[in-house]
Structure 1
Amino acid sequence: MPPLLEAAAILLAGVAAGGINTVVGSGTLITFPTLLAFGVPPVTANVSNNIGLAPGSVSGAIGYRRELAGQRARVLRLASASLIGGVVGAVLLLVLPADAFETVVPVLIGVGVLMVLLQPRISRAVASRRRAAAGVRPDPRWTWPATLATGVYGGYFGAAQGVILMGVLGIGIDESLQRLNAVKNVLAAIVNGVAGLVFVVVADVDWWIVLLIAVGSVVGAQLGAAFGRRLPPTALRAVIVVVGLVAMAGFLL
């Protein structure tokens, strides 16, 4: 087991990540740099973090269950894309050399930070499109392959997977952002869950880290579902961006 202070920090990072994933979708930018700061190897940190956050994703989906009403067919259709994408992303993480992951991590973190920064603009564009739309239209076909691609990204790394999903769903689907956020939580849970199953079988997992993040993320997801809409989004986004930039600088320097 990690030292007490280290364990407490990982647990708290899990709480923060669970809440952030439920509301925004970039909690990995909190937990992953925390693990790196304590000297956990990058691939082991990514694998253990992915497994640990999976229960939090399920918890977040349960917290948003009211907003899922009437969306069963949509969720089932897109869930297949997330399932396939999560498996492909997890396999890519395992078959590509560890050096390749360490090389691309700063880029992936940068993508995550960029998506968090662009999230307000994406949300405004989606809201504007929603106001301009008349009536209810069927979901466009391109949302399935776009969800698949996001699942590949999520299975491989996952930072800001939820933000990317919200962009895809918000642009393509004629629903309120809160109802789309509920769908996002289900799809993220599927990606994290299926990737976690792959990692459990064949990857090097630190189970103490998994336990700490899992407990924290489940609690954080429920807090996020209950109170997340009341949090100042600018402050939350600022914390995520700062942590991500610090992690990226640590890799580059």
Structure 2
Amino acid sequence: MSGLEELAILAAGLGAGIMTSTVGVSSLLSFPVLLAVGVPPVVANASNTVGLTPGALSGSFGYRQELREQPRVAATVITTCAAGAVLGAALLLALPASVFEAVVPWLILGTCLLVGAQPRISRWLRRTHQTSRGPARLSPVTTAFATLVGVYGGYFGAGSGVMMMAVLGFGTDLEFRVVNALKPLAILASNVVASLIFLVVADLDWTAVVLLAVGSVVGGYVGARIGRRLNPTVLRTLIVLVGVSAAVGMLV
């Protein structure tokens, strides 16, 4: 790996960390970069998950004030996403690499559509989720969908933060700012569990892991600081373009 490629991965980690705390689609930025420098898809996915975990940790720390307001929901998000991630990581490692390579372009395209719809989801949440300020809990149906988000997070993960926002938005009366704070926490729970599994049994590109970790831990905290005020339209457009380009490149 050349010095320029290493710099590109470091920059991707920084950007992905910011995206974890703001838009919630970090892997759509970092995963294509790993593919572009020649890392095989399954190795790139596992390395990406391990490398971006520190960014999700720093992002969640940045939102600690909001998370303290709903400890029961935060604990449920951690539990469901962690449990789901076990199945997702197992599927990634148990199924042939050809399955992942065939499925992931469509997952990326689907996530790009979700990213495009995020402004509408966010506006709806802001209009309808401003009154619940006391302790809340997740219904069984919402808990089941949160677990499915964890499964997706363990298998691939791009856009899992946006998915969790949608699940919590339609299934709870939480304020928008709290839902936004739970987004990096969901990513963190999935990434930690999947990373522990990948560290034991998966092939990893350790250069990529370290560079992504260094970049994402800075980006995650910075993203949490600016996530309450940032208008992410330009960044969202860039991510969709990168994601679509990566998906088309894998399909052809």
TM band (smaller chain): over 0.9
**Residue 141 of structure 1: CA displacement?**
2.3
Shifted more, 113-122 versus 176-185: the winner is: 176-185
The unaligned stretches of length 5 or more in structure 2 are none
SS of the aligned residue for 1:229 comes to coil
**TM-score of the two chains, using structure 1 as the length reference:** 0.95
CA offsets 1:177-216 (integer angstroms, 9 cap, x no match): 1111222221210100100110011000111110000010
Q: In structure 1, what is the equivalent of residue 45 of structure 2?
A: 46
CA offsets 1:157-179 (integer angstroms, 9 cap, x no match): 01111000111111112122111
Q: Is this contact kept in 2: 1:166–1:184, CA < 8 A?
A: yes
15 and 178 in structure 1: CA distance in 2 versus 1, 3 angstrom threshold = same
Aligned pairs for 1:1-253 within 5 A: 2-130=1-129, 139-253=138-252
Pairwise CA RMSD: 1.6
**Residue 128 of structure 1: CA displacement?**
3.1
| Aligned residue-pair number | 251
Q: Is this contact kept in 2: 1:139–1:174, CA < 8 A?
A: no
Question: Aligned equivalents of 1:35 and 1:135: distance in 2?
Answer: 42
SS of the aligned residue for 1:142 comes to helix
**Residue 138 of structure 1: CA displacement?**
5.0
Q: Give the fraction of aligned pairs with identical amino acids, expressed as a percent.
A: 48
Shifted more, 78-87 versus 199-208: the winner is: 78-87
Question: Aligned equivalents of 1:194 and 1:10: distance in 2?
Answer: 23
Shifted more, 74-83 versus 141-150: the winner is: 74-83
Runs of 4+ in 1 over 4 A off after TM superposition: 133-138
The unaligned stretches of length 5 or more in structure 1 are none
**Residue 75 of structure 1: CA displacement?**
1.5
**Residue 124 of structure 1: CA displacement?**
2.1
SS of the aligned residue for 1:200 comes to helix
Q: Is this contact kept in 2: 1:47–1:204, CA < 8 A?
A: yes
**TM-score of the two chains, using structure 2 as the length reference:** 0.95
Q: Is this contact kept in 1: 2:72–2:137, CA < 8 A?
A: no
Question: Aligned equivalents of 1:96 and 1:72: distance in 2?
Answer: 36
- Letter aligned with residue 91 of structure 1: A
